[in-house]
Amino acid sequence: MPKLLLLIVGMPGSGKTVVADIIAKKFNAAEVHSGDIIREEVRARGLKYSPTTDAAIAHWFHTGGREILIAQRIWAKVKKKRKDIVVIEGLRSPSQLKEIERLSGQKPVIINISAPFRIRHAREHKRGRFGKKESEAYLRFRDRDELKRGLGKLMRRADYRIDNRGTKKQLEKAVVALIEKLMQKYKYSKPEV
């Protein structure tokens, strides 16, 4: 079990994955991404990955009380990690958090990554993950969908908030400072990277 369990939350395009990658690289941490669970389910069903299949499987997971399945599958991956710091990126609801707390027996440190809509839209458009669907209307739809799932409640429960409206270098500096502060708080020494 990790000594430090970090949960990274935020709206689409806020920089959650970048933050998880920074922590993994700078602090020899393991990463588990909720999006991987969606993509694995797409493959398990023999479907071709696309924005449509991604959305359909995400909807399936987040209806009918199945959202805790994502938390359970994430925890199965976390248990296999042999790192003292584990970063979980992308939970969407308080029920998923509650399931992670139940399975882990600990309260993860929640870090909310925030950025204004215009910056998130520009990032999503640059990423090009969903092709031409990065319109402003599409991102607003995704935002509403995520908030319906409970992401806003989870973001409000965050222990820490990082404003990601600046450069990647500024973000890295803020993330490193926060993780070093957490390591002191939890009396954990920095691993060799």
Per-residue pLDDT band at 192 (split at 50, 70, 90): low
In angstroms, rounded to a whole number, what is the distance separating the alpha carbons of residues 139 and 118? 10
**Placement of tokens 């990955």 in the chain:** 49
Instruction: Domains for the chain: give ranges and CATH numbers.
Output: 4-185 (3.40.50.300)
pLDDT given for residue 51 in this prediction:
78
Residue with tokens 């709206």: 11
Using a pLDDT cut of 90, give the percent of the chain over it: 74
Q: What is the C-alpha to C-alpha distance for residues 85 and 123, in angstroms, rounded to an integer?
A: 28
Structure tokens that stand for 140 in this block: 């607003």
Higher pLDDT, 31 or 125: 31
pLDDT digits (tens, 9 = 90+) for 21-36: 999 999 999 999 999 9
Checking if the pLDDT of 128 tops 80, the result is no
Helical ranges in the chain per DSSP H: 16-27, 34-44, 51-61, 67-80, 94-104, 117-127, 136-149, 151-156, 168-185
H or E element that contains 158: none
For residue 130, what pLDDT band results from cuts at 50, 70 and 90?
low
Look at strands 30-33 and 85-89 and give their pairing.
Answer: parallel
Residues with Cβ < 8 Å from 109, sequence gap 6 or more?
Answer: 4, 5, 6, 7, 159, 160, 182
Tokens of 36: 């991987």
Quick one: which of 46, 92, 45 has its CA closest to 69?
92
Banded model confidence at residue 178, pLDDT cuts 50, 70, 90: very high
